[in-house]
Structure 1
Amino acid sequence: MSTTYPELSARFQPLFDQIAAGSLQRDLERRLPFDEVRQLDEAGFGALRVPVAQGGAGASIEDFIRLLIDLAEADSNIAHLYRSHAGFVESLRFLPDDVQATWYPRVTSGATVGNASTEKGGNALGTLNTVLTPTPDGWVLNGRKSYATGSIFSDYTRVSAAVEDEDGVVQPGRRFAVVPTDAPGVTLEDDWDGFGQKLTGTGTAVFELVRLPAEAVLG
C-alpha cells in the first residue's frame, strides 16, 4: 500500500475535491456529512495510522497530519470530527496485544470511534457521573455526556467513566468503555449550540443500562 504523502495525496485528493464541492451547500443547509464520512471510511482514511504489520497504511504522523490539513481545506467540519478516532487509533499503539488484536482489524475494516467524555455540571473535579457497574458477564454503563463530537457518524464511541466495585462504591480513577453507537440504551443527539463547527455531529450522548462485554472496557 502507498504510504508516502505524494502517493497518499494522489489517492485521497480526488475524494477531498469531491467533498469540497459540496461543503458550502452543506453549511448553508446545515446538512450533516454522513455520505462524505462514509466514503472516507470506505477509502481507508481512518486506518492510515494503523501499522502495516496490523493491516494498515502505516502512514507517518507528518504525512497523516498533512492529509488532515488537506481534508480541513476541503471541509473543516469533517476534518474536526475525525479527531476522536485519530486519538483512539494512536492510543492502540500503547495498549496490550489482545486489545490491538481486537481493535486493529475493526479499524482496518472501516470502523471508526467517536468520543463521549465531557460532562456538564454536578460532578466534583476528578470525578465522573457516568459509571460502569460490574456484572457476572461484563459491565453496565449509565451516564450522560454533553460534547460527543463525531460519535453520531461512528460505529463506536469511547466513553470515560468511573467504576463501581461489587458493593456499589465508586473507585478512584476512570476507565474507557468503547461502546457500539447502535447498542440498546445509547442515544446520540446533534444538539450542540455553542462555539465551533456546526456539522461535526457534536451533542448529548446518553447511556441507559448499556450492557457491555468485559473486553469493551479499557484502562
Structure 2
Amino acid sequence: MARVRAKVRRELLIEAAVRVAARDGVAATTTRAVAAEAGASLASVHYCFDSKQELLREVLISIINELAGDWLPSATEGAGVAVLARAELRALWDVVEREPGKQQVTYELTHHALRTEGLEELARWQYEVYYERSAQRLRDIAARAAVEWTLPLPILTRMLMNMIDGLVLGWLVDRNSELARGALDAFADSLEGMSRAIVTSPGLEHS
C-alpha cells in the first residue's frame, strides 16, 4: 500500500476487512488476511487498530451503515399502509439479495460479540441501530399514509425487525426468494390492520 494518511489507510483497511469477512467469514478475517487483501503490511494493520476486536467492530459499523443507507424505497405518496410497507420491504429485500455475504457477516459478528468479553455492547448497539431505523420507517409510513399505529411503536418495531431478522436468516439457508418475498408482502398487508386513520377535527382544520 503506497504511503497514505493514517485516516485514509484505516478506511482502506476496513474496506478490505469487509471484503474478507463477506467472502470468507468472520473466523477467516485475521489481521494477516486483511493486510494481504489491502496490499498493506501487517504492521500497518496493527498501527491503525489496537486489536482484531476493534477491527471487527469497525467492520460491523461499516456494513450496518452501508446496508441501511442502501434501503431506499421508491416514492409512493398518497398510498395506503400496505402499499407503502410493501415498497419499503421490497427495497430492503433488494439489498439483502444483492449483498448476501455482508448479511451473513452481521449474524456472525452478533454471535461473536455476545461470546467475546468486552464486545457485548457491540451486539447491543447493533440492535439498537436496527430498532431505531425500523422505527423511523414505521413513523414515515404512518405520516405518509395519514394513520397512527394501534400498537405502541416499540412493540411494532420489534415485531418488524424480528420478522426481517428471521426471514433473512432463513433465506441465507435456503435462498427461496419467492417465499421470502411472499412473507414480506403478507406482513406488509397485516400492518394495514395495525393502523387507523387520523381523524382531524373540522374545527382544527380551519384554526
**What TM-score, normalized to structure 1?**
0.31
Which structure has the bigger radius of gyration? 2
The answer to which structure has the higher strand fraction is 1
The answer to which structure has the higher helix fraction is 2
**What TM-score, normalized to structure 2?**
0.32
